[in-house]
Amino acid sequence: MITGSMHNISLPLQLRNCGRLELIMLCRSYCGAGSHSSIKKCFVLVIVQRSSPTMPTQSMDEEKALLQAYHDEELRLFEQPSHYPNDEQVDDSPQRASCRKKKVRAIFKHLAVFSLLLLGWNVLQAYRAGRMSCGQWRNYGGIEKSDTWDFNGLDESVQHPPQDFPWPPQVTLEECVEWPAPSPPGDGEYHGGPGNHHPSPHSFDSSFNLPSSADILAFFARGPLSVGSFNVEQGTEETDQVVVDVTTKWHGPRELLDLVQLCRFKGEKGSVGVGIVSVKGGPHHRPHHRHRVWFEVNVRLPPGSDKPLEIKKFLTFLPVFSQTVSDLGKSVYFGGIGLKGFVSGIKINSLSAKNAYINAGVGAIKGNFTTSSSLELITSSGEIDVDVGLTNDEKSDKWTDLLLATSTGAIKANLSLHTESDSNVGGKFNITSGFSAGSVILNTIVAPKDSTVDLTAHGSVGAIHVTMDKTFEGKFDVGTSVLSRPTIVERKEKDEDGRERKFEYSQVGRGVVQGNVWWDADDGNTDGKERGNVEIRNSLGHVSLTL
């Protein structure tokens, strides 16, 4: 700060060499919180010493002239638009600190999303490279890991002699298809070149019978030529056998089929099924790049009698097959069903089971499901678009579970919740929508009165929209990291008993809304206030909850 007499102050070098605008601002800085008069004297001192540094004194008239010059200069400069802040804008450090914090938070959020996407990509690459065990199943829904086979060591990059097919050691081959005789030289081969016509594929039909009463019906495919489609339907012929029709098609010489084995097998724990194993041939069996083999597998279940046909367990492991289940929801009941693919999607027209596990790899999952114990739908990057019916035994303490999980795809599910009794009252349901970078839409169309519903939905980028049935009672906790407040839609209506819908909020802030919802009875009973729970969390996308 500049203090003392005008003529006894040593002028800093910074003030000696600056312009007029900078001079006024620096005088303010050097004088600090001093009076306006001190700032004027500073300005005069600078003008005097810069114009005549050796001048010992100035007359009163000269000082007045210099002060008037300061006044005129200050008015002229500060009335013009300037990029320099005024007095009220100088101390903006709190605002700048807040902005810096927001920018840092935004950077970390983007880094977190990028890291998750990178992790998903690495997992996908691991699948493609065959580094992950193909026989790994989650112990979920009564479908145990031991119910499938160990595919470790079936490395597609390893060349095997045509007669050496790496079947899992747990299975015993019962019947294998004998391929037709080799074709004449040149028949069906593709030689390339302009004008050459690509011939129609060759075709060969085969069939297997499996007992429908088997503990496990299993189907799997493995190898570079094991590609195709898989369909499950119900036949009309009265029988107790499951008929498996396989149409083998190929482009190229018949010798391609020497690299493939198609067999019926028997496995552990009472499992029976059909498998397709293929290998890469040696130098003399290496197929042309346009030579290919694919399979059309059609499984026909026998019809039921007066009640739906019961299948104990039905398992597939078909990485490069599309999988389709026909409209079996009312005519077949699966104790446990597990469908696992990787590249192509899985479509279920309708299916009814106690426990169901569907893993489509990177493909989509679409269809209609009804389960009474557990349903798990998983895909890495495909979408999930399903209608789900969950049934619960209200007399037991067990919950009926639903898991929907995808890394980057969208999730859309319409949910119908019921109990096994005709009264349709009570029941326990647990619904989880796993982490998704796409949008999430969960619509609970119907739910039993006085039911307990726990719903959790987590997302990252896409919006999350959840609609609960009007019977829902309990807590809700909705949060998002974006600045906008989550949207809560209140449906204030009376039920058939004349009860009113009550809402209570315990916390309402930017990004977070918490509270309770319940039906207000005449007797003052508020048990429903803590019955169920809805938790929604989103990193960057919007969130809405309809109650």
State how far the Cα of 478 lies from the Cα of 465, in Å rounded to an integer: 11
Q: What is the pLDDT of residues 522-542, one digit of tens each?
A: 666 777 888 999 999 988 888
Distance CA 314, CA 142 (A): 11
Tell me which residue of 150, 154, 118, 121 sits closest to 137, measured CA to CA.
Answer: 150
Q: Which of 392, 383, 236, 220 is nearest to 314 (CA)?
A: 220
CA angle 322, 294, 135 (to 5 degrees): 55
CB under 8 Å, gap of 24 or more: what pairs does 521-529 form?
521/497, 522/498, 528/450, 528/473, 528/474, 529/473, 529/474, 529/475, 529/504
Indicate whether 59 pLDDT > 60.
no
Query: How far apart, in whole angstroms, are the C-alpha atoms of residue 193 and residue 427?
Result: 68
The alpha carbons of the chain give a radius of gyration, in whole angstroms, of 38
Q: Is the pLDDT of residue 21 over 80?
A: no
How are beta strands 332-340 and 309-317 bridged, if at all?
parallel
Q: Return the top range by mean pLDDT from 17-21, 279-283, 492-496.
A: 492-496
Q: What is the mean pLDDT of the chain?
A: 78
- Please check the confidence at residue 370 and state whether its pLDDT lies above 80: yes
Q: Is the pLDDT of residue 24 over 60?
A: no
**Pairwise CA distance, residues 224 & 496, whole Å:** 61
| pTM of full prediction above 0.85 | no
- What does the H/E/C string look like for 481-525? CCCCCCEEECCCCCCCCCCEEEEEEEEEECCEEEEEEEEECCCCC
Long-range contacts of 137-140 (CB under 8 A, 24+ apart): 137/338, 137/340, 137/357, 138/357, 138/376, 140/355, 140/357, 140/374, 140/376
C-beta separation of 6 from 27 below 8 A? no
CB 505 within 8 A of CB 514: yes
pLDDT digits (tens, 9 = 90+) for 319-369: 999 999 999 999 999 999 999 998 889 999 999 999 999 999 989 999 999
469-479 pLDDT per residue, tens: 999 999 999 98
- Output the CA torsion sign for 165, 168, 169, 170: negative
> What interhelical angle do 36-51 and 20-31 show, nearest 10?
130
Cα separation values, 203 from 196, 295, 297, 341, Å? 21, 10, 13, 25
**CA atoms within 13 A of residue 58's CA, in its CB half-sphere:** 23
Q: What is the pLDDT of residue 399?
A: 96
Overall average pLDDT of the 112-140 stretch = 49
- The pLDDT confidence band at residue 519, using thresholds 50, 70 and 90, is confident
Average of per-residue pLDDT across 494-508: 81
DSSP 415-482: EEEEESSTT-B--EEEEEEEEESS-EEEEEEE--BT-EEEEEEEESSS-EEEE--TT--EEEEEEESS
pLDDT for the residue numbered 317: 95
CA distance 518 to 291: 65
